[in-house]
Structure 1
Amino acid sequence: RAFAAGLRPLLQARRLSALLLQFPFTFRDGADARERLRRLRDAFREFPLVVEVRHRSWAEADATAFLRAEEFSVANLDYPTSSDSFREPQAATGEPGYLRLHGRNAAEWFTRGAGRDARYDYLYDYDELDEIADRIGALSTRFRELVVVTNNHYRGQALANLAELAARAGGGERALPATLIGTYPRLAAVARPAGPQAAAGMRDAGLPGTTGSRRTTGAGRGGRGGQGSSRGSGEQRDLFDG
C-alpha cells in the first residue's frame, strides 16, 4: 500500500504510463502463476500494468485470454530466444503497448553465470534498427499509446540506440554527452555534444507511429549506461518540463 501511495502522485500527474512486472523464463502459465498475477492486479488496481513474460506458455490462447481479462498489457520483447521462449511479434492484450529491447547478445544471454552487464552488452547495428523501427510502426497501429524502452544498458548503448531510433522518425539532431559520442562515433550523424543548453537540444525525441509529442529519457550510473525510453501521448511533454 505504501508503494502504491508513493506512485499515485505520478499517476495523477500523468507522468506514469505503467508499472512493469518482469518475470524470468521459469515463470510459466499455470494456476499458481495466475494467482500471483491476480494478487498483483488487486494490489495495483488503479495502475496500468505491463507484464514481461519469457516462456512460450503465455502465448497460448487460454493464457492470452486470462491476461486480457485481468487487464494486463504484455510486453513485446526483442531479445535472444530459444524454442521455448515467448516470441510473439505483436502481443496486444491491453494498454499501453510496450516494447522492450534487451539486445541480441545470444552468446552471453544463454551462458550460465554470465553477469548482467555481459548479457546486456549489445549495440544494435543499422539494419537491426531499421527492422525495429518497422516493428514499432506496426505495433503503434494497435495501441493508443506505445512505450519503447532500450535496455541494452551497458556503456550507454541504450541511449545511443534510442537516439538513432529517434532520428529515424525525423526527430532531428539532439544533444548527447560528448563522452557518449566519443565512445560511439557514428552518433555524430544524429547528435551534437551537449553543452550548457543541452536541455533544449534533447526535446521531443520521437518514434514512428506514436501520437502527439514524445519524451525520451536515458541515464548513466558510474561506468554503466541506464536504459532509455520513448513514449507517445496526446499531451505535450518532454524530458525537461519538470
Structure 2
Amino acid sequence: MLHGRTAIITGGAQGIGLAIAQTFAGHGARVVLGDLDEAHVKEAATALPGPAIGVGCDVTVAANVDGLIKAALDAFGTVDIMVNNAGITRDATMRKMTEDQFDQVIAIHLRGTWNGTRSAAWYMREHGGGSIINMSSISGKVGFVGQTNYSAAKAGIVGLTKAAAKEVAHLGVRVNAIQPGLIRTAMTEAMPPKVWDQKMAEIPMQRAGDPHEIASVALFYASDMSSYMTGTVAEVTGGRYM
C-alpha cells in the first residue's frame, strides 16, 4: 500500500510510533524515525523490515524538524508521509502542576506537531502532495482530571489539523488526526491498577487497544484508500466516550 513512499514518524523509538513504523515498513514504505533518544531510535530503525534510518530530533525545535526532513530527502529522495506522534505526559492536578510541566507538554505535543506539519507541508506542497497524520487523544475530546496540559495540547492538535488541512488541500496535501483511547503501551501500563481499572470500565469493547490497531488507522490515512479525506479525526477508542 505504501510501496515507493517515504514516511517520517516522530516519537518512533517505541510504543505507538514504533508500531506505525513497523506497519508502514511492512507495506513497502521507506521509514525515517525521529526521536529525542538518538541511540534508541537508531537501534529501532535497524530492526525494521525494510529501508529505514533513525535520527535524533527534538520536535520542539523547528531546525531539528527541518533537519529530519532533510535527512529523509538525503536518504530516500522524497517525503510522502509525515506522522507527528512524539509526546510525553506530566500529569498533575492544576493545584499541583507547575508551569514547567504545563509548558513541556504543550511544547512537545502542540508546537512539535505544528513544526512537523509546517515543515512537511512546505515540502509536500511543492512536490505533488502527501499525507500528514497528527496524533491527538480522546483526552483532547473530553478532558481528563490531572491532564489540563495534555488535554489542552491534544485538543489544540485537532484545531491545528483542521486549519492546516484547509490551507493546503488545494495543493494535494492531506492533514488528518487520530484520537487513540486507552492503548496498551509501557506508558499506560505504568498507571496504578485502580486508575487502569477505572478506564477499562469506560470502554464498551471491554479491552485496551493494541498499538498496531492505531497503526492500521495511520496506514489508512497514509495510503490512497483515504484519498478524499482531509481535516478528519478518527477516534480509535473501543467505543469509549462515543
TM-score (norm 1): 0.37
Q: Which has the larger radius of gyration?
A: 1
Q: Which has the higher helix share?
A: 2
TM-score by length of 2: 0.37
- Structure ranking higher on relative contact order (CA contacts 8 Å, 6+ apart): 2
